[in-house]
Amino acid sequence: MTAPAIELKGISKAFGPVQANKDISIRVMPGTIHGIIGENGAGKSTLMSILYGFYKADAGEVFIAGQKTEIPDSQAAIAAGIGMVFQHFKLVENFTVLENVVLGAEDGPRLGPSLRKARKQLTELAAEYELSIDPDAVIQDIGVGMQQRVEILKALYRQADILILDEPTGVLTPAEADQLFRILQRLKDEGKTIILITHKLREIMEATDTVSVMRRGEMTATVKTADTSPEELAELMVGRKVLLQVDKTPAKPGAPILEVDRLNVTDAAGVHRVKDVSLTVRAGEVLGIAGVAGNGQSELLEVLGGYQSATGTIRMNGQPLDLTGRASDGQSRRARGIAHVPEDRQREGLIMDFHAWENVAFGYHHDGAYQANRWLMNNAAIKADTEAKMGRFDVRPPNPALNAKNFSGGNQQKIVLAREIERNPDLLLVGQPTRGVDIGAIEFIHQQIIALRDQGKAILLVSVELDEIMSLSDRIAVMFDGSIMGERLPQDTDERELGLLMAGMNGKAA
């Protein structure tokens, strides 16, 4: 019996109190494609970083082709025949394809012979695996699909037998993705072993021979792909979490507050992030937007928050919002009655080195109540307001002078929420309200959101947590690849169907 190409035994890794990988074991046989699927933060990338020598595992062993192998650094990983295609490519943008392939695998101090040899081998590899590419093209001039091809060629040039791809289709168009899978099939046929890390069910079903499911740092199942179904995988991936019950009465939707019509966003890098999105949020309802991170939800929030330009129209209380970015910013959006709890409170919602009270004024620092006179701010008033808000939102410790970074995630989020909700906005944008928040605080935060809805406010909720979407939303829209895949009512759908939509598959058709 042949030894597995790669075998992990009991890998564990913790970052401080967070257990990113817990006793993970996998066997991958040579000449197969093995998928690893799991939600964001399930620990997939950590595991692969351990394999590539970026992190040192706290416990566990790695066997390559039956041999126990230590991987202290990337050099050792390369020597062991492991090639890695990272989610964010590690290419030198102003180098040519050839130079990128050669970098680190040169044959001698002079570059000429190395480049000549690489050019020849590249042609051979291109023929062998149908990976044709112009070796003299400069990376920044070629598309992401081609760039990924360069990453694959880099690994092959280093004679990798095991190729790990981390979320390889995240940046690809569907056509490019299809091409990638043909290439992977080809590599497999030539005897290479491939590990495909993804959160997309369709890719697992189409491309892999075996699949492992990760959830919260643990390996929950390893099965043959042929023996499973997308529905079963979705369930294993999302898990039957205990639904957090939120006491809420049926919504009484009123007039439309926010009307988005054919919104399109292209980011600075030229990537089309939001595609023809149209949606309406009415007074007194929560519209939940489900989706895996990176499918355009963040950009949608940024546009609504006033700091990302877009095309299309958005009406707030019937009046159009400026989308060019010239006549609008976070301040003007607040003036229009839009409050925003951003997805990443540490990067956007708070200034971690500011005191709690300074953060409570953040975004509302022009508010008249916070000014002592024309020149000076009334810090005492802000502190008093902070103290009151901390009391109402049960922020612990209730100390306005503490820096934001010294609060727990839940209490940080309560500070942001208190700041935004108590502005009595017509529309509340909420991104990932309970990311990194402890259970106790989750319940409280959910109650606050529903309470605001019951006051007749419109709420747009973006979350990657399906149970959160299910328990809070009055309507659910699912975003995938910048588009809205469909809208469902929570009572008419289930996590399985939503999971399929989030993975880009139309639930009814599957």
Site of interaction with other proteins (CB under 8 A): 45, 49, 52, 54, 73-78, 84, 86-88, 90-95, 99-100, 102-106, 108-112, 114, 154, 305-307, 329-334, 340, 342, 347-354, 358, 361-363, 365-366, 371, 375-377, 379, 406
d(CA 35, CA 199): 10
Task: Name which of 181 and 362 has its Cβ closer to other proteins.
Answer: 362
Is 281 within 8 Å of 427 (Cβ atoms)?
A: yes
Q: Among 347, 318, 323, 344, which residue's Cα sits nearest to residue 333?
A: 323
- 3-state SS, residue 286: strand
Task: Name which of 242 and 376 has its Cβ closer to other proteins.
Answer: 376
d(CA 501, CA 298): 18
Tell me how far, at minimum, the Cβ of 352 lies from other proteins, in Å. Answer: 8
Task: Name which of 222 and 408 has its Cβ closer to other proteins.
Answer: 408
Positions of E strands within 167-246? 193-198, 210-215, 218-224
Tell me how far, at minimum, the Cβ of 91 lies from other proteins, in Å. Answer: 6
- The DSSP line for 297-360 is HHHHHHHHHTSS--EEEEEETTEEPP-SSSS--HHHHHHTTEEEE-S-IIIII--TTSBHHHHH
Tell me how far, at minimum, the Cβ of 134 lies from other proteins, in Å. Answer: 19
Q: Among 350, 386, 381, 384, which residue's Cα sits nearest to residue 368?
A: 381
Phi/psi for 125 (5° steps) reads -60, -40
Tell me how far, at minimum, the Cβ of 243 lies from other proteins, in Å. Answer: 30
Task: Name which of 68 and 347 has its Cβ closer to other proteins.
Answer: 347
Is 393 within 8 Å of 418 (Cβ atoms)?
A: yes
d(CA 257, CA 265): 21
- 3-state SS, residue 254: coil
Task: Name which of 53 and 499 has its Cβ closer to other proteins.
Answer: 53
Q: Among 13, 9, 7, 49, which residue's Cα sits nearest to residue 32?
A: 7
Task: Name which of 147 and 225 has its Cβ closer to other proteins.
Answer: 147
Longest Cα separation, the chain: 82
Report residue 119 as tokens: 């050019």
Task: Name which of 290 and 361 has its Cβ closer to other proteins.
Answer: 361
Task: Name which of 24 and 98 has its Cβ closer to other proteins.
Answer: 98
Tell me how far, at minimum, the Cβ of 48 lies from other proteins, in Å. Answer: 8
Task: Name which of 435 and 475 has its Cβ closer to other proteins.
Answer: 435
Tell me how far, at minimum, the Cβ of 190 lies from other proteins, in Å. Answer: 23
Task: Name which of 90 and 252 has its Cβ closer to other proteins.
Answer: 90
User: Chain-centre distance of CA 316, in angstroms?
Assistant: 28
Report residue 435 as tokens: 């990311």
Task: Name which of 270 and 375 has its Cβ closer to other proteins.
Answer: 375
Give, as one character, the DSSP assignment of residue 2.
Answer: P
Is 14 within 8 Å of 73 (Cβ atoms)?
A: no
Report residue 126 as tokens: 């291109």
Report residue 19 as tokens: 């257990």
Tell me how far, at minimum, the Cβ of 438 lies from other proteins, in Å. Answer: 13
Give, as one character, the DSSP assignment of residue 14.
Answer: E
280 to each of 105, 348, 431, how far by Cα in Å?
55, 25, 17
Task: Name which of 101 and 283 has its Cβ closer to other proteins.
Answer: 101
d(CA 359, CA 403): 9
Tell me how far, at minimum, the Cβ of 378 lies from other proteins, in Å. Answer: 9
Identify the H or E element spanning 137.
none
Tell me how far, at minimum, the Cβ of 224 lies from other proteins, in Å. Answer: 30
Tell me how far, at minimum, the Cβ of 377 lies from other proteins, in Å. Answer: 6
Tell me how far, at minimum, the Cβ of 390 lies from other proteins, in Å. Answer: 19
41 to each of 56, 198, 199, 242, how far by Cα in Å?
18, 12, 11, 19
Tell me how far, at minimum, the Cβ of 284 lies from other proteins, in Å. Answer: 26
